[in-house]
Structure 1
């Protein structure tokens, strides 16, 4: 499991320029995801309580409104997008942190 996270993180670092974020932003986003409890319900490539980050990225691929939509779900919480489990709101995060997390999730690849 740890190897999969490291491989995914390594890929994210390599893809940073393509995703419009630098490697410092991606490292910050990974740390922020850990500190915010994202990994309590999500993993890079497997469903836990919520969908895998890669599944979220796949679902929203090509959607120009995806960063804003995902940021809103992170900030305000959501219900019904991925089944019956609700995602809690993360209203304590700044708008910049929420935007960074959304971009980081959308850059995840299987």
Structure 2
């Protein structure tokens, strides 16, 4: 009986691994982050003015609906989410770049 459950779960395990393998790397998003001045307030592992990207990834992991919320916060800005300092809107970031950064965050902000 246990083997049936294990066999049923294997496709999910492989799918999760494939999704992680397809996650953008920091190298892929670093140019976007530099071009849009994101790194002035955020670093991958260290809080600067805003939270570290790994903190953001940890807070929003596990719920795919959070990708839309992250995109909204990046594009429109936010206030009160991480404290008193507001995040300004990033209206110049393209939708393709925005999606890549959000995918990277949702994957845990991997190196």
Deviation at 1:27, TM superposition (A): 3.1
Alignment partners' CA distance in 1, 2:99 and 2:51: 19
TM-score by length of 1: 0.74
- The change in CA–CA distance for 1:64 and 1:17 in structure 2 (over 3 A counts) is closer
> Structure 1 residues 109 and 28 mapped into 2: Cα distance closer, same or farther (>3 Å)?
closer
Q: Which residue of 2 aligns with 1:87?
A: 87
Query: Does the 8 Å contact 1:57/1:109 carry over to 2?
Result: no
Counterpart residue number, 1:103: 103
* Aligned counterpart, 1:9: none
Q: Is the 8 A contact 1:60 1:106 kept in 2?
A: yes
* Offset at residue 28 of structure 1 (A): 3.3
Q: Secondary structure of the residue that 1:39 maps to in structure 2?
A: helix
Q: Calculate the TM-score normalised by the size of structure 2.
A: 0.73
Paired residues, number: 94
Does the alignment pair 1:18 with 2:5? no
- Structure 1 residue runs of 4+, over 4 Å off? none
Q: Are residue 68 (structure 1) and residue 68 (structure 2) matched?
A: yes
After superposition, residues 36-47 of structure 1 pair within 5 angstroms as 36-47=36-47
- Structure 2 residue runs of 5 or longer lacking an equivalent are 1-16
RMSD of aligned Cα (Å): 2.4
CA distance in 2, matches of 1:16, 1:49: 34
Is 2:97 the counterpart of 1:58?
no
